[in-house]
Structure 1
Amino acid sequence: MIDFIHAHSTRLYAIAAAALSLIAYYIQDLPIGLILALVASILGAGEAVQRVEDRKTAKALQQEPPLPTRF
């Protein structure tokens, strides 16, 4: 499960952000404090996702590029 989250962290973040936006728009009776707390948590999750992606990029930069293939 952890491998899945690391592999697809950006997609999962996008789904969570979209769901939060839809919930805040369609449920009119939510208190503003709750919405602001959820927005803050989404921003924090975005920072975590960015760090995961940065680690994947740094790891990829340390690897040897694949050899070209001929068809």
Structure 2
Amino acid sequence: MIDFIHAHSTRLYAIAAATLSLIAYYVQDLPTGLILALVAAVLGTGEAIQRIEDRKTHQALLLDPPYADRS
């Protein structure tokens, strides 16, 4: 499960951000403090996701490029 989350962290983040946005829009009685706390949590999670993606990109840059079979 952890490997799945690590491999698809950006997609899961996008789903969570979209879901929270829809909930904040359609549920009228949410307190403003709760909405602001959710926004802060989403921004913090986005930063963590960015660091994961940067780490994966850095690891990929260290690998030798794949070569196509030119037969």
Q: Same fold (TM over 0.5)?
A: yes
User: Could you tell me which residue of structure 2 aligns to residue 49 of structure 1?
Assistant: 49
Alpha-carbon separation, structure 1, partners of 2:22 and 2:70: 48
Structure 2 CA distance for aligned equivalents of residues 39 and 16 of structure 1: 11
- Runs of 4+ aligned residues of structure 1 deviating over 6 Å after TM superposition are none
Question: Within 5 Å, which residues of 2 pair with 1:1-71?
Answer: 1-70=1-70
Give the superposition deviation at 1:68: 1.4
Q: Larger deviation: 8-17 or 61-70?
A: 61-70
Q: CA RMSD for the aligned pairs?
A: 1.0
CA distance in 2, matches of 1:31, 1:11: 28
Unaligned runs of 5+ in 2: none
Unpaired segments ≥5 residues, structure 1: none
Identity percentage over the alignment? 76
Q: Distance in 2 between matches of 1:41 and 1:69?
A: 47
TM-score w.r.t. length of structure 1? 0.96
